[in-house]
Amino acid sequence: MSNNAKIAVGGVAVGLLLLIWLPWWAALLIMLGVPTAAYLMLDPSQRRRLRRVSRKELGR
């Protein structure tokens, strides 16, 4: 199993646990807020690099 697959499986597991333990709106807020906060903490040059890599993977 690749590293990305392991991360995805872990993320799904954490999301399911949050949905069980917290109200749905709090779990949704955490699941969307953490990646958004991490993206906003990047430098502008790191954000550009991340967007460039994402577009290449999409085949654009």
Residue that the structure tokens 């991340």 belong to: 50
Task: Spell out the domain ranges in the chain.
Answer: 3-58
Model confidence over 20-47: pLDDT tens digits? 888 988 888 888 898 899 999 999 999 9
What is the average pLDDT value for the chain, to the nearest integer? 85
Residue 57 pLDDT grade (very low, low, confident, very high; cuts 50, 70, 90): low
Instruction: Count each helix (H run) and each strand (E run) in the chain, helices first.
Output: 3, 0
Q: Are 18 and 33 in contact (CB under 8 A)?
A: no
